[in-house]
Amino acid sequence: MVNMIIDGKNVTARKDTMLLEAIRGAGISVPTLCAHESVSRSGACRLCVVEIKKGNRTRIVTSCLYGVEEGLIVNTKSERVLNVRRLVMELLLARCPESDVLQKMAEDMGIEAQTRYAVDTDKGKCILCRSCVRVCEEVVGVSAIGLFSRGSYKEVGTPYHEPSDACIGCGACVYVCPTGHIEMTSTGETRKIWGRTFKMQACTKCGKYFAPVDQLKFISKKTGTSIDELAVCTECR
C-alpha cells in the first residue's frame, strides 16, 4: 500500500494501481471520456488530468496513466487542472455540437460552449477517444477499424470507408463508444454496421435473432466450439 494526500485527505491505495482509481476510491469524482474499463488506456481525452507535487516540483499528469506513488500530493481541482478540463470540454463541444452526452457533462462541470470557436459539422459525435479501435483489436481481436490520417483530419473507420472483410459485426465498438457516434441498425434478421450488412443467426431453440453469423463463425474458429452449439442463444443455453 502507498500513502498519498489527495485534495488534502490522507489516502492509501494499492500498489500498482493508477491515480484515477485511487482518487475515485477516495470518493472524489474525476471526469473521463476515453478510459473505458474493457480496453487499455491511451490518455487521449485529457479530462482526467490532476496536479501532482513531488518535492518542490508540481506538474500536470493524466491520472488514468500515472501510477500511485508513496508521498505524492495530488490536487484534483487546482486552477491549472480546471483550465485544462475547461479547454478540453470547450474544444469537444465545438467539434461535436450534437452530442447530448458532452452537453450534459459540460453542464455538470459548469462549462459553456466557447462562442469564439467555429463549430464543426462533419465530425458527428466522434471525439476520437479510440475505445472502439482498441476494443476491436484487444478484445475482439479482428482490428477491423482503425484511426486514419492525422491531426484534425483524423477519423475512425474501416480502410477506404469500405465494408470490411475483417469485421464480424459484433457491435463491441458500439458498446464502448461514450457518445453514441457509431451507427448500428437492425431489422431482426440483419444488422448493419460500418456500411456492411450482416446476416443474423436465429437461435435454434427459441428462434430469436441474437448474433451475426460471422461472429459465431469467428468464435467457433477461435475456440473450437462447433457452430451448432453456438447457434443457441445465451438464454436458451
Partner 1 sequence: MTKPISIAAKTRQIVKKHGNAKGAVIAVLQDLQEAFNYLPKEALKTAAKAMDVPMSRIYEAATFYTAFSLEPRGKHVVKICKGTACHVRGAAILQDRFETTLGIKPGGTTKDGLFSLETVNCVGACALGPVVVINTEYHGQVTISKVDKIIKKINKEEGAQ
Partner 2 sequence: MSGNTDKQSHAILDNLTLYYGPKRKFVAICAGTGCRAYGSLKVKDALEAELKKQNMADVDVLATGCLGFCEKGPMMIIHPDKYFYQSVKESDIPEIVEKTIGRGEAISRLLYRHPETKKTLFREEDLPFYKKQLRAVFGKNGMIDPSRIEDYFAIDGYQALAKVLAEMTPEQVISEVKKAGLRGRGGGGFPAAVKWEGVRKAAGEPKYVIANGDEGDPGAYMDRSLMEGNPHSVIEGMIIGAYAVGSNHGYIYVRNEYPLAVENLSKAIEAARANGLLGKNILGTDFSFDIQINKGAGAFVCGESSALFASIEGRAGEPRAKYVHAVDKGLYDKPTVLNNVETWANVPLIINKGADWFASIGTEGSKGTKIFSLVGKINNTGLVEVPMGTTLYEIIYDMGGGITGGRKFKAVQTGGPSGGCIPESLLDLPVDFDRLYEVGSMMGSGGMIVMDDTSCMVDVARYFLEFLKEESCGKCVPCREGVRRMSEILEDICAGRGREGDIELLETMSAAIADGSLCALGGSAPNPVLSTIRHFREEYEAHIRDHRCPAGVCKALISYNIDAEKCTGCGVCVKVCATKAITGELKKVHTIDNEKCTRCGACIQSCKFDAIYVK
Residues that bind partner 1 (CB under 8 A): 133, 137, 142-150, 158-160, 164, 166
Q: Does 119 bind partner 2 (CB under 8 A)?
A: no
Amino acid at 204: T
Q: Which of residues 151-170 bind partner 2 (CB under 8 A)?
A: 151-154
Q: Does 67 bind partner 2 (CB under 8 A)?
A: yes
Say which entry of partner 1, partner 2, none residue 10 contacts (CB below 5 to 8 A, set by partner kind).
Answer: none
Residue-wise over 22-41: b if at least 16 C-beta within 10 A, else e? bbeebebebebbbbbeebeb
Q: Which is nearer to partner 1, 150 or 237 (CB)?
A: 150
Residues 74-93, mask of contacts with partner 2 (x by CB under 8 A): ------x--xx-xxx--xx-
Can you tell me the distance from the alpha carbon of 235 to that of 237, in angstroms, rounded to the nearest whole number?
A: 6
Say which entry of partner 2, partner 1, none residue 127 contacts (CB below 5 to 8 A, set by partner kind).
Answer: partner 2
- CB-CB neighbours of 194 under 10 Å: 21
Say which entry of partner 2, partner 1, none residue 126 contacts (CB below 5 to 8 A, set by partner kind).
Answer: none
